[in-house]
Amino acid sequence: MMTKRTVLYAFVVVLAAAPLAAGAQTTTQPSPVISVTGEARISVPPDMVQIDTGVTSDGKTAREASDANNATMGKVLLALKGAGIEEKDYQTSRLSLQPQYTAAKSGSPATISGYRASNRVTIRLHDITKVANMIDTVVTAGANEIGGINFMVSQASKLLDGAREQAIADARRKAEIYAKAAGVALGTPVSISEEGAAQPLFRARVMGGMAAAPVPIAQGEETLSISVGVVWAIKKDP
């Protein structure tokens, strides 16, 4: 037989559970927003350049090719030091030693005819007017490969500060167009995020082989781009 205390406890439990059950049926509607991406670009002259150069040597044996390559590259590195390039501004980027084969003849496999050693170095210049002179320096010292020339902007992120403001203005312009088309009023930004790292949209690159005379270098301009994602609140009706 149920006691009075047991009946009272059951009654309290039912009363406490009733509000929870009612609350479980209530769902919160997400606030309406407009999400857009704002973009901006600026063009600036490059202030730094990287030159990819190196030495390739052939020999009948691996040791012969390697020794010849090391000797010539040593002269190139000494030339860089003599030209006032700091050690932090040049770095070995690739080393390789590969066998060279004769063409396979009918009924016989290809055979090793010698070896090729290659040593590539990347040079960073902070004065882009010295590109032609630097190429002449390394070629004179024995470099027989120029893999490429990359013009860059060293302070790209700082230079993009003005473009960031333009990107926000572009995002507002787009959001206002959507708001007007939808018949709503634009509110305040809910979130702002920069999408991806600030990088040059285009990086000039010059490719070519060796030349006997200095090659004219056109540095051009770098186009830097920035994009921001902005989520705007939609004003509620008063």
Is the domain defined by 48-152 classed in CATH 3.40.190.10? Answer: no
Would you state the pLDDT for residue 8?
Answer: 41
More confident residue, 4 or 225: 225
Residue 104 confidence (pLDDT): 76
Residue 43 has pLDDT above 60, yes or no: yes
Q: 1-10, 16-25, 54-63, 144-153: which has the highest mean pLDDT?
A: 54-63
pLDDT band with cut points at 50, 70 and 90 for residue 9: very low
φ, ψ (nearest 5 deg) of residue 58: -110, 150
Question: Strand ranges (DSSP E) for the chain?
Answer: 33-44, 48-59, 90-101, 112-125, 145-152, 186-194, 199-200, 205-206, 222-234
For residue 218, give the DSSP letter. -
Is the domain defined by 30-44+155-202+218-238 classed in CATH 3.30.110.170? yes
Q: Are 124 and 48 in contact (CB under 8 A)?
A: yes
What band does 218 get if pLDDT is binned at 50, 70 and 90? low
Residue 238 has a pLDDT of 55
129-170 tens-digit pLDDT: 899 999 999 999 999 999 888 888 888 888 889 899 999 999
Mean pLDDT for the chain overall = 82
What's the pLDDT tens digit per position in 117-130? 999 999 999 998 89
- Nearest in space to 162 (alpha carbons), one of 225, 220, 229: 225
Where in the chain are all domains bearing CATH 3.30.70.2970?
A: 48-152
Q: How sure is the predictor about 13, in pLDDT bands with cuts at 50, 70 and 90?
A: very low
pLDDT digits (tens, 9 = 90+) for 196-208: 655 544 444 444 4
pLDDT number for residue 112 = 92
Kindly indicate the confidence band of residue 212, based on its pLDDT and cuts at 50, 70 and 90.
very low
% of the chain residues with pLDDT over 70: 76
User: Could you tell me where in the chain the CATH 3.30.110.170 domains are found?
Assistant: 30-44+155-202+218-238
Q: Which of 42, 35, 39, 36 is nearest to 170 (CA)?
A: 39
Res 39: pLDDT? 95
Give mean pLDDT, residues 14-32.
Answer: 56
Residue 215 pLDDT level (bands cut at 50, 70, 90): low
**Which pLDDT does position 28 carry in this prediction?**
66
Task: Report the distance separating Cα 232 and Cα 66, nearest Å.
Answer: 63
Question: Average pLDDT in the 196-221 region?
Answer: 50
Provide the pLDDT confidence category of residue 45 given band limits of 50, 70 and 90: confident
- Please report the pLDDT score of residue 106 as a whole number: 76
